[in-house]
């Protein structure tokens, strides 16, 4: 197959491909077809499907017709999808055959008529009577996409936030946001002609939008598509097609680092990692299998501020840095008092100012107000610091655990746990301390197959590596760690599962945890990031390795103190005492139905 004659190809069956000319024709047909179906300017069209060579066509066709694109996770339950349809006010729904039943149930909950659901039978699947194929949208001829609108204020897409607490919110992404981000990222991360890339992460993820929906067409770079990540298929594709660039999340990075087929990865030169940070240890394992010219490049960004806000040059860097701000983007650090932090190495919350941030959260003015500072900076909710112009991200402010006045990063403990040879995966959350005056770290550990690792061994292992106040008070052994497509640990799932039987024996607590996990799996047989294939490979969200507090590791010093030293006082013990009471007696309030997302944007 002539590599310059097509733009998108299926990794598993490359004979199925689309040229840029074909994509253009399909987009123009979709523009006309959607408008013929009654789509008005500003109407939302939701796409519920696994990745495919046609996904970019859908994305561009919806936007070009004057509509707003929104992508939903095909692993959603009807409850989760209904929430997504409501917050985006979706008027049309395009769904694959495998997710049709979920789509119908969710649409029914939202009052979306069956006549506005189109089935994406992209592989020639038969469609049940009473349903309509998306091909109906291609039968009205071509029409040019809309032009001449206010790009800075016209929404092009509603993107679900990847927050790990609460239900997702819909970020309003304008045309200017998309164009400016594509321009600056494309300038920094140029893909040479005839250099191919492989996409194996969800098409609705902010990491995928520029790499799949913009660069292949803009830069003429051929792109192979996988519906979801699967290690063997990924390795085969890299080897067979001499893939030079790919974008992954940390769970995939860990999966690749553990593969025995090292030769298969030798064509890779750029591996962009986003969603959450990869530790230096995780990177080193993979570097040992890569070509000497290959680079693992951390990307830091958030939907609210831009697909990407930082970039790294080609110089090898395993310090855990996410690089420097992109041109036109500014970072600052703010402490808990709202004071700007200017000293190198001192920690604070990262605030971002970008040329075109989101306009806000759709129909959610309160959340929008909370997302921005009074002077217009996006508040990331991430704790970090800067050293010699390079930025480091440590953890989420909401995830920090208050231990006897010290603020402890769960990611630091998790990184230390993962150094144990018998631990496959780990997560840490804060639980009310026994004295009711603060919190204590609690660990969740996935043991390697055949391991008989015990709690005391885990605690002893941590004591050898971390300060005593960072040690876990308790350890629960579980089958898996729940996380979203970006690899971020869904700590709320762990907290809610832990709260089912707060004083039960280990066996009962483990059973409660397993039941909470299984309650979501009815509609998640095919996961958008291949979590089923990664259960033993996933390492979760790692903001920083514990070694980053060691000056000898990165060549620089770093304050050994916690993020913000905040001693416990009588005024701030009430919440901890309340949590302690709930831990002993159970929560008094009635909990919502336990449909937590293991593969969606949030729990």
For residue 31, tell me if it sits in a domain: yes
For residue 570, tell me if it sits in a domain: yes
Residue 36 buriedness (CB in 10 A; 0-12 / 13-18 / 19+): middle
List CB contacts of 136: < 8 A, sequence separation 6 or more.
33, 118
Altogether, the residues listed in the chain come to a count of 603
Q: What is the largest CA-CA distance in the chain?
A: 71
Q: Does the pLDDT value for residue 208 go beyond 70? A: yes
- In angstroms, the first-to-last Cα distance of the chain is 43
Provide the sign of the torsion angle of the four alpha carbons 388, 390, 394, 398, taken in this order: positive
For residue 277, tell me if it sits in a domain: no
Tokens of 237: 């594709």
The pLDDT tens digits of the residues spanning 476-505 come to 999 999 987 667 888 888 887 765 333 233
For residue 593, tell me if it sits in a domain: no
Reduce the DSSP state of residue 548 to 3 states and report it. helix
For residue 202, tell me if it sits in a domain: no
| pLDDT confidence of residue 329 | 94
pLDDT tier at 205, thresholds 50, 70, 90 = confident
Q: Does the pLDDT value for residue 138 go beyond 90? A: yes
CA gap 521, 498 in Å, rounded:
19
Contact 171, 303 (CB under 8 A): yes
Mean predicted confidence (pLDDT) in 328-344: 93
For residue 262, tell me if it sits in a domain: no
Q: Does the pLDDT value for residue 111 go beyond 90? A: yes
Total structural domains within the chain = 2
Mean predicted confidence (pLDDT) in 115-138: 94
For residue 189, tell me if it sits in a domain: no
The pLDDT tens digits of the residues spanning 400-454 come to 887 876 778 888 899 889 889 899 899 999 988 876 667 899 999 999 889 999 9
List CB contacts of 252: < 8 A, sequence separation 6 or more.
200, 201, 229, 234, 529, 534
The pLDDT tens digits of the residues spanning 522-573 come to 334 433 333 333 333 333 333 333 333 332 222 223 333 333 333 333 344 3
CATH number at residue 557: 3.30.300.30
pLDDT tier at 513, thresholds 50, 70, 90 = very low
Tokens of 513: 């945890």
The pLDDT tens digits of the residues spanning 251-263 come to 788 788 877 777 7
If DSSP states are collapsed to H, E and C, what string results for 291-310?
CCCCEEEECCCECCCECCCE
| pLDDT confidence of residue 166 | 59
Q: Which residue has the higher pLDDT, 280 or 542?
A: 280
For residue 320, tell me if it sits in a domain: no
Q: Does the pLDDT value for residue 379 go beyond 90? A: yes
Mean predicted confidence (pLDDT) in 359-383: 94
The pLDDT tens digits of the residues spanning 286-299 come to 998 999 999 999 98
The pLDDT tens digits of the residues spanning 416-428 come to 898 898 998 999 9
List CB contacts of 350: < 8 A, sequence separation 6 or more.
331, 332, 333, 380, 382, 383, 384, 391, 393
The number of C-alpha atoms within 13 Å of 233 and in the hemisphere containing its C-beta is: 17
Q: Does the pLDDT value for residue 142 go beyond 90? A: yes
Tokens of 174: 């304008």
Mean predicted confidence (pLDDT) in 19-34: 97
Q: Which domain range does residue 481 map to?
A: 400-585
Q: Does the pLDDT value for residue 225 go beyond 80? A: yes
| pLDDT confidence of residue 472 | 93
- Taking alpha carbons only, the member of 580, 559, 590 closest to residue 502 is 580
Mean pLDDT, all residues of the chain: 80
Task: Show which of 134, 149, 164 is a domain's final residue.
Answer: 149
The pLDDT tens digits of the residues spanning 41-54 come to 999 999 999 999 99
CATH number at residue 20: 3.40.50.980
Task: Show which of 149, 182, 205 is a domain's final residue.
Answer: 149
Task: Show which of 149, 176, 199 is a domain's final residue.
Answer: 149
pTM for this predicted structure: 0.73
């Amino acid at each position: 197959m002539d590599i310059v004659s097509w733009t998108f190809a299926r990794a598993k069956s490359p004979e199925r491909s689309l040229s840029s000319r074909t994509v253009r024709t399909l987009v123009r047909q979709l523009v006309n077809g959607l408008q013929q179906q009654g789509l008005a300017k500003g109407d939302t069209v939701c796409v519920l499907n696994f990745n495919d060579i046609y996904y970019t066509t859908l994305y561009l066709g919806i936007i070009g017709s004057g509509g707003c694109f929104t992508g939903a996770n095909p692993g959603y339950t009807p409850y989760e999808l209904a929430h997504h349809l409501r917050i985006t006010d979706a008027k049309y729904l395009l769904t694959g055959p495998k997710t049709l039943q979920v789509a119908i149930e969710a649409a029914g909950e939202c009052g979306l008529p069956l006549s506005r659901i189109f089935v994406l039978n992209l592989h020639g699947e038969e469609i049940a009577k009473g349903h309509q194929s998306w091909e109906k949208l291609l039968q009205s001829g071509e029409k040019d996409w809309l032009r001449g609108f206010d790009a800075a204020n016209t929404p092009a897409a509603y993107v679900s936030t990847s927050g790990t607490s609460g239900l997702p919110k819909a970020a309003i992404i304008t045309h200017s946001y998309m164009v400016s981000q594509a321009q600056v990222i494309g300038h920094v991360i140029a893909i040479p002609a005839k250099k191919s890339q492989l996409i194996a992460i969800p098409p609705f993820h902010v990491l995928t939008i520029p790499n799949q929906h913009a660069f292949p067409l803009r830069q003429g770079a051929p792109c192979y598509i996988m519906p979801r990540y699967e290690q063997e298929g990924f390795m085969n594709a890299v080897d067979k097609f001499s893939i030079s660039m790919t974008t992954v999340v940390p769970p995939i990075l860990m999966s690749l680092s553990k593969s025995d087929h090292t030769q298969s990865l030798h064509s890779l030169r750029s591996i962009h990692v986003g969603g959450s940070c990869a530790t230096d240890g995780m990177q080193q394992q993979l570097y040992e299998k890569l070509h000497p010219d290959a680079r693992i490049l951390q990307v830091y960004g958030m939907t609210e501020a831009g697909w990407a806000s930082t970039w790294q040059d080609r110089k090898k860097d395993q310090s855990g840095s996410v690089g420097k701000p992109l041109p036109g983007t500014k970072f600052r650090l703010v402490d808990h008092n709202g004071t700007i932090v200017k000293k190198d190495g001192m920690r604070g919350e990262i605030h971002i100012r970008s040329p075109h941030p989101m306009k806000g959260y759709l129909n959610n003015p309160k959340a929008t107000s909370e997302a921005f500072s009074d002077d217009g900076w996006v508040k990331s909710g991430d704790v970090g610091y800067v050293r010699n112009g390079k930025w480091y991200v440590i953890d989420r402010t909401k995830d920090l655990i208050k231990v006897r006045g010290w603020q402890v990063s769960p990611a630091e403990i998790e990184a230390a746990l993962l150094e144990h040879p018998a631990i496959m995966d780990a997560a840490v959350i804060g639980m009310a301390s026994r004295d009711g005056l603060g919190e204590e770290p609690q660990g969740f550990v996935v043991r390697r197959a055949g391991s008989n690792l015990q709690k005391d061994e885990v605690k002893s292992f941590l004591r050898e590596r971390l300060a005593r106040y960072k040690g876990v008070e308790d350890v629960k052994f579980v089958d898996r760690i729940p996380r979203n497509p970006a690899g971020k640990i869904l700590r709320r799932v762990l907290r809610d599962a832990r709260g089912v039987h707060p004083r039960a024996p280990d066996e009962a607590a483990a059973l409660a945890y397993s039941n909470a996990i299984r309650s979501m799996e009815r509609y998640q047989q095919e996961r958008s990031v291949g979590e089923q294939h990664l259960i033993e490979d996933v390492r979760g969200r790692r903001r920083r390795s514990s070694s980053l507090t060691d000056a000898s590791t990165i060549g620089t010093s770093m304050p050994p103190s916690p993020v913000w030293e905040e001693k416990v006082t009588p005024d701030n013990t009430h919440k901890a005492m309340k949590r302690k009471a709930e831990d002993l007696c159970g929560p008094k309030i009635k909990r919502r139905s336990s449909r937590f997302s293991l593969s969606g944007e949030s729990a």
